[in-house]
């Protein structure tokens, strides 16, 4: 299935969020043209490990796309964009707020060339607000939302998240979702629109339960102390006899009772209401 066949996407983004979003569009059939700097292009091309002439990261995120090298600060190069802008359906950019406008490529300008264009901007903190111009990366955005504080280990041994949640779940995926919604709206109205994708804002749904506990129940979560962050023996990583780990998530009572039976847990310990802080270090060594 190629539901986006026939659509043209101009990709001005680099690194991860925008390129992953346009990759999803490309895999759905859209033609994606990546606009890159003449002096080396997307910085991710130079990452390691390598795959042929570029990095593995770049190859994974930009397969199936075409690339055009243009100096956006040069008047003649800028003019070469006009035919593409005139027939494009979607534009994705990932600069700080105001950069595209200074290049003469802001939504107000481009929408006059192409009123049907869906113009998607991906930033850390959105196009407006007190943090709009602040630079950052995934870890910064997760820290701002409080997600890191839910399960960050100790000051002596801090734990970094194993995924780039802000870039992917806060940036790439919401961008694609809103682009598809905008395409549906364009079908109805005939006009495009500007989309403001703020990666930090889009992380708050991941903390829905923590915010709910705090705002509604007055019980603000503590570091590694809640049901799914290490505060319950029902949702833990346990060591095994062969030196490996087992992921156990028997949250429901029936599953918990079955789990306790399987690991031959002492009945005195199986009531976790009396042993809420049972840790992996006190778990039975018989798990296999």
* 204-220 residue pLDDT tens: 999 999 999 999 999 99
**Structure pTM?**
0.91
Question: Strand 236-239 relative to strand 245-248: parallel, antiparallel, unpaired?
Answer: antiparallel
Report the phi/psi class of residue 79: left, alpha or beta, with left for phi > 0 and alpha for psi in -120 to 50: alpha
pLDDT of res. 184: 98
Span 64-70, average pLDDT = 96
**Active-site hit among 42, 138, 167, 201:** 167
Q: What are phi and psi of 73, to 5 degrees?
A: -90, -5
Residue appearing with tokens 């027939």: 87
Cβ atoms of 233 and 275 closer than 8 Å: yes
Contacts of 155 (CB under 8 A, 6+ apart): none
**Active-site hit among 54, 137, 196, 272:** 137
89 among known catalytic residues: no
pLDDT of res. 280: 44
For residue 225, the SS3 value is coil
Q: 8-205: what CATH class?
A: alpha beta
CA torsion sign, 121 to 42 to 85 to 175?
negative
Cβ atoms of 197 and 122 closer than 8 Å: yes
For 121, the enclosing helix (H) or strand (E) is strand 118-123
137 among known catalytic residues: yes
For 248-286, give one letter per residue: b (16+ CB within 10 A) or e: bebeeeeebeebbeebebeeeebeeeeeeebeeeebeee
Residues 115-135 have pLDDT tens digits of 999 999 999 999 999 999 999
Residues 163-206 have pLDDT tens digits of 999 999 999 999 999 999 999 999 999 999 999 999 999 999 99
Every domain of the chain and the residues it spans: 8-205, 236-282
């Amino acid at each position: 299935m190629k539901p986006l066949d026939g659509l043209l996407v101009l990709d001005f983004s680099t690194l991860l969020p925008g390129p992953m979003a346009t990759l999803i569009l490309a895999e759905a059939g859209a033609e994606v043209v990546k606009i890159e700097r003449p002096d080396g292009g997307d910085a991710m091309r130079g990452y390691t490990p390598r795959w042929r002439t570029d990095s593995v990261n770049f190859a994974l995120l930009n397969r199936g796309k075409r690339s055009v090298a243009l100096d956006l600060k040069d008047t003649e190069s800028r003019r070469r964009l006009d035919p593409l802008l005139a027939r494009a359906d979607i534009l994705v950019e990932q600069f700080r707020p105001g950069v595209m406008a200074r290049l003469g490529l802001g939504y107000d300008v481009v929408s006059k060339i192409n009123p049907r264009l869906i113009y998607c901007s991906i930033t850390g903190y959105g196009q407006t607000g007190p943090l709009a111009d602040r630079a950052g990366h995934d870890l910064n955005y997760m820290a701002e939302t409080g997600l890191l504080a839910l399960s960050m280990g100790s000051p002596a041994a801090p734990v970094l998240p194993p995924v780039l949640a802000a870039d992917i779940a806060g940036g790439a995926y919401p961008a694609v979702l809103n682009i598809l919604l905008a395409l549906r709206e364009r079908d109805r109205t005939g006009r495009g629109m500007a989309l403001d994708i703020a990666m930090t804002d889009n992380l708050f749904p991941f903390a829905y339960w923590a915010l709910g506990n705090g705002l509604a129940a007055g019980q603000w979560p503590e570091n590694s102390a809640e049901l799914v962050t290490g505060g319950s023996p029902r949702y833990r990583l346990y060591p095994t006899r062969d030196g490996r780990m087992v992921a156990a998530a028997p949250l429901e009572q029936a599953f918990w009772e079955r789990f306790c039976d399987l690991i031959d847990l002492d009945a005195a310990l199986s009531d976790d209401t009396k042993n809420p802080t049972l840790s992996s270090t006190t778990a039975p060594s018989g798990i296999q």
